[in-house]
Homo-oligomer: A and B are copies of this chain.
Amino acid sequence: MTEYCSVEMGELTWEEFADHVDGSVVFVPVGSTEQHGPHLPLNVDTVIATEFSKRAAQRVDGLVAPPLPYGFKSQAGSGGGADFTGTTNLDGETLRRLFGDVVGDLVADGATNIVAFNGHYENEYFLREAVDLHLEEGDGEFIIASWWDLLSPDVRDDLFSEVPGGFPGWATEHAGVVETALMMQFRPELVREDRVVDDGPDRAPPYVVKPARDDQIASTGAYYKATYATPEIGERVVDDVLDTLVEGIAHEWGDVVPE
């Protein structure tokens, strides 16, 4: 007999899940299928959300629900937009319903503490709306966390101190220093090291134009200086983000997580 043990909800039998769900934090990784430059695969946001979720779940004895691999529409200024071949996105209402249905059933299963762990910039408001609509009738407590928000400003500034131009803001750090570094940690075999580029759009106006103009989009799909990425940067980001998240969970839900 194999006593199978996993933080992945999908790998548990229903009885194992039932035994574990009470008082456990359930993480729902939310990613996307979106271009990430010439050197990173389409699944970057899903991989990053899932890998962070697994590591966090291990630290708080939680569970990770099956990740959502499609996200809201990539925007030209933050991910290149819908016209890149391979970028495959959902309408906002679809993502709202999808996430709402999943958390609704998880709560019905006994989950009381759910973390939406987000890896795709454009998802955030639809996750918030899904939770707000769920809470009109439903129960549960929710944390919605995007990994870039969890990185300490100090660490962030230190990481970017050697990058010419410094930290550009998260909206445009797409397929850039940190995402590339994280993939070097999580799935190094998926980083095409010979194709890492420093690219970016010619122009980043302080408003959104639709349909997008060509000069607002990086033609390679890489929005910042990915050549500065290193596995060491990835490791520091992983550690710092996880620390912030686990501390946050302990602060909010100290009664349900082990010390």
Is the CB of A62 closer than 8 A to any CB of chain B?
no
CB-CB under 8 A from A75, the residues of chain B are: 128
CB-CB under 8 A from A94, the residues of chain B are: 94, 97-98, 101
Query: Are B110 and A192 neighbours in the complex by a CB distance under 8 Å?
Result: no
Is the CB of A208 closer than 8 A to any CB of chain B?
yes
Is the CB of A17 closer than 8 A to any CB of chain B?
yes
Tally of A interface residues using CB under 8 Å? 94
Query: Are B144 and A208 neighbours in the complex by a CB distance under 8 Å?
Result: yes
Q: Which of A131-139, A160-168, A230-238 has 4 or more CB atoms under 8 Å from chain B?
A: A131-139
Query: Are A141 and B192 neighbours in the complex by a CB distance under 8 Å?
Result: no
CA distance A91 to B93 in the complex (A): 11
Query: Are B43 and A85 neighbours in the complex by a CB distance under 8 Å?
Result: no
**Which residue of B has the minimal Cβ distance to A73?**
B132
Interface mask (A64-104 → B, CB under 8 Å = 1, otherwise 0): 01111110110100000010111111111110111001100
Q: Known contacts A86-B109, A194-B1; is A69 also within 8 Å of B70 by CB?
A: no
Interface mask (A120-133 → B, CB under 8 Å = 1, otherwise 0): 00101110110111
Query: Are A65 and B38 neighbours in the complex by a CB distance under 8 Å?
Result: no
**Which residue of B has the minimal Cβ distance to A148?**
B206
CB-CB under 8 A from A193, the residues of chain B are: 1-2
Query: Are B244 and A206 neighbours in the complex by a CB distance under 8 Å?
Result: yes
A13's partner among B144, B192, B206, B210 (CB-CB below 8 A) is B192
Interface mask (A172-215 → B, CB under 8 Å = 1, otherwise 0): 00000000000000000110111100000000011111110100
CB-CB under 8 A from A112, the residues of chain B are: none
CA distance A178 to B195 in the complex (A): 44
Is the CB of A155 closer than 8 A to any CB of chain B?
no
Is the CB of A248 closer than 8 A to any CB of chain B?
yes
CA distance A15 to B109 in the complex (A): 40
Closest approach, in angstroms, between the C-beta of A224 and any C-beta of chain B?
A: 17
A85's partner among B17, B40, B70 (CB-CB below 8 A) is B17
Query: Are A129 and B91 neighbours in the complex by a CB distance under 8 Å?
Result: yes
Is the CB of A145 closer than 8 A to any CB of chain B?
yes
Closest approach, in angstroms, between the C-beta of A105 and any C-beta of chain B?
A: 4
Is the CB of A60 closer than 8 A to any CB of chain B?
no
| Contacts A14-B85, A89-B105, A90-B97 supplied; 13 other A-B pairs, CB < 8 Å | A4-B190, A10-B41, A10-B42, A12-B41, A14-B87, A17-B42, A33-B65, A46-B66, A88-B105, A90-B98, A91-B129, A144-B207, A144-B210
